[in-house]
Amino acid sequence: MLTYPHIDPIAFSIDIFSIHLSVRWYGIMYLLSYLFAWQLARLRGRLTWGEEALENLLFALFVGLVVGGRLGQVLFYAPGYYFAHPLEILQIWKGGMSFHGGFLGVLLASLLWAHRHGKRWLEVTDFIAPLAPLGLMLGRIGNFINGEIVGRVADPSLPWAMVFPHVDALPRHPVQIYHAALEGLALFVILWLYSKKPRPTGVVSGAFLAGYGVFRSTVEFFREPDAGIFGLSYTISMGQWLSIPMILAGAGMLWYFGRRVDAPSPVVK
């Protein structure tokens, strides 16, 4: 059995013109996510869109991710608290981001970019789908550093069961690592390999939706459920409620678009 190694969420601090600034690991993870997405985008090709257009796309996606992720946390999980403490909505450096909200923000940003540049929306989402999982992995590592997201009580004999002293003295599942391993690393490998061959437009996006939904729903069985807007439930958690539409939509897209033989989505070089 392991003990959570308390990690200072502040990576370093600097003083600039009598202003004390603290840089948190959580923020660094978001920066690394952006840099990884940029490098992976270059590997995937599609530079025929132009360097500037690609930069604009990634920046728009990053903004959509951050804004959507925070609003999703506020609206899906703790509307009462944040409406009572509205200034804390802006304190994203302390953590508290909803994947499903960030996902909706990314969808909107990609839709606007596709419309502005005359591209098919599903072609754009197929291109960016394999770029996302490593960012999700880094975000979950940020969750681990912050000591946030509580796992359910685990059997003490489980070799990787972990005690989080700031929570209680019980051995728990380190669900942040589960999230990082499944929604992050495993999903990245699956999508990257799957998208290396020409695929009908829409199926890579469908694979992302279904894959994330399945992995997220699986991890939720080991995670203390969040109350959310539907209340607290150990049967179907808020995360699972939000993932079910993703699984259904992804499976439907794989079935529908998989039968088509139109122009393929972008392929890894």
Q: What is the pLDDT of residues 134-162, one digit of tens each?
A: 999 999 999 999 998 899 999 999 999 99
Instruction: Share the mean pLDDT of the chain.
Output: 87
Q: What's the CA gap between 195 and 133, in Å, rounded? A: 14
- Give the pLDDT confidence of 70-98 residue by residue, as tens digits: 888 787 777 777 788 787 777 766 556 78
pLDDT of residue 231: 62
More confident residue, 94 or 69: 69
pLDDT of residue 89: 75
Domains in the chain: boundaries = 2-258
pLDDT of residue 81: 76
pLDDT of residue 1: 86
- Give the pLDDT confidence of 166-217 residue by residue, as tens digits: 999 999 999 999 999 999 999 999 999 999 988 999 999 999 999 999 999 9
pLDDT of residue 245: 94
pLDDT of residue 94: 59
Over residues 2-16, mean pLDDT? 90
pLDDT at 38 over 80: yes
pTM of the predicted protein model: 0.85
Among candidate residues 242, 129, 103, 248, the one with its CA nearest the CA of residue 190: 129
Please give the DSSP secondary-structure letter assigned to residue 153: B
DSSP alpha helix (H) spans, 21-162: 25-44, 51-72, 79-84, 99-117, 121-128, 132-146
pLDDT of residue 263: 55
Number of Cβ within 10 Å of residue 119's Cβ equals 17
